[in-house]
Amino acid sequence: RSSMRVRPSLDRKVQLVLDAGSGSRTATISEISATGVGLVMGAEDATGLSTGMRVRLEFRLPGTRDPFRGHAAIVNLRSTPERTVL
Residue 6 has pLDDT above 80, yes or no: no
Q: Please report the pLDDT score of residue 7 as a whole number.
A: 63
**Which pTM value belongs to this model?**
0.83
Measured between its terminal Cα atoms, the distance across the chain in Å is: 16
What is the distance of C-alpha 46 from the center of its chain? 11
Residue 14 CA to residue 31 CA, distance in Å, equals: 10
Q: Please report the pLDDT score of residue 74 as a whole number.
A: 95
CB-based burial of residue 18 (10 Å sphere; 0-12 exposed, 13-18 middle, 19+ buried)?
Answer: buried
CB atoms within 10 A of CB 57: 19
Q: Please report the pLDDT score of residue 29 as a whole number.
A: 92
Mean pLDDT of the chain, nearest integer: 88
Contact predicate 27/66, CB 8 Å = no
Average pLDDT of the segment spanning 10-29? 88
